[in-house]
Amino acid sequence: MIPFNKPVWLGTEPQRMTDAIRTNGHVAGGGPFSQQCEAWLSRHLGQPALLVTSGTHALELAALLLDVGHGDEIIMPSFTFVSTANAVVLRGGRPVFADVDANGNIEPTEVDRRRTSRTKAVVVVHYAGNSCDMRALASAAASVPIIEDAAQALGASFEGQPLGTFGVCAAFSFHETKNVGCGEGGALTVRDSALLDRAMVMRDKGTNRRRFMAGLVDKYTWVDVGSSYALSDLNAAYLSVQLEAFAKIQHRRDALHHAYVAALRAPVADKGGYLIEPGPGVSSNHHLLGIVWSAPAVRDRFIAYMRDCQIITPFHYVALHESPFGRAFHDGGPLPMTERLSTCLCRLPLFYNLADADQDVVVGRTLEFLNAL
């Protein structure tokens, strides 16, 4: 069996977790390994980053931070993970679903078209670790703040600027499916220092505990709305190993991705499909390899064929505007590219510990399928 994903495994993660327990004696949030990971992220991004319990919670924190409330409209792609929309709905806001381009990123013209006086924010999702067109989006959003859902995008950039630094804030994920991870984890980056202070309070259950720990107040108390969003130092210890090895991990992913593209781009195109690829000015982190097939029936046949060969090649996203819960928020209009991707896209196994021999099998079986089409 060749799975779709295996969490990155370097081998020294358990020792680091033991260090958190035995050496540091600190396993709650805010410990030495959390600080280490935040310092790494801040260096990499050039702005502060707060470690949190998941990408989902980073998005929830972003919605809290921007005071998303009842009746607010938040424009976002329908082609995304449910957490992008849940973060807004949990605050009483309404997701306004927009269509995407052929590579799964929100269309700037859609943002322009759907913006109203009730629009509180625009959430852009960098699908597959390929940047959205941030230049066109900044102009389409006008003065409306942009939140980046960069869950898949650590290490990627647009015109040389790291993703996660364009919006007022950005959410990253360290779920086991991501390029680096710790099982469940995430980070929120915040551009504005006034918002950063508030984000820290909100991450600490709405208390000023951080100021208390720094000796700035003599007791800590409830000062704002918040929740328990700090990542345990056990998870941070695990994550710190993978962040240190980020360049090596990316190097391997890039090699795997390039090998897939070299072998499959032309044969897939010959049969009317295409691969998800970065647009102009985009340096990708190669989070995933997506094939968009010519028709839903072809995609479904491919997934079934590969499953028979013991290879898992899953679809990506049931469009939110067509989902049982998301339908209620939508105006009923078609989102043609979202619907195309939702029914025609699947992903190939791509993870750090994927062996060359296994990748060769995946490529071989895919070519076999294409030749028989």
Ligand X SMILES: Cc1ncc(COP(=O)(O)O)c(C=O)c1O
Summarize as ranges the residues that interact with ligand X (CB under 6 A): 54-56, 80-81, 83-84, 125, 149, 151-152, 173, 175, 186
Round to the nearest angstrom and report the end-to-end CA distance of the chain.
24
The CB-of-335 to ligand X minimum distance in angstroms stands at: 17
Give the shortest CB-41-to-ligand X separation in angstroms. Answer: 15
Query: Residue 34, exposed/middle/buried by CB under 10 A (0-12, 13-18, 19+)?
Result: buried
Q: Which is nearer to ligand X, 188 or 344 (CB)?
A: 188
Minimum gap (Å) between residue 173 Cβ and ligand X:
3
- β-pairing, 274-275 vs 289-292, is antiparallel
Q: Which is nearer to ligand X, 208 or 229 (CB)?
A: 229
Of the pair 167, 186, the CB lying nearest ligand X is at 186
Least distance between ligand X and beta carbon 149 (Å): 5
Tally Cβ neighbours within 10 Å of residue 1: 8
Q: Which is nearer to ligand X, 173 or 235 (CB)?
A: 173
Minimum CB separation of residue 294 from ligand X in Å reads: 26
Position with the least CB separation from ligand X: 55
Of 184 and 197, which CB lies nearer to ligand X in the complex structure? Answer: 184
Cβ contact 347:247 at 8 Å = no
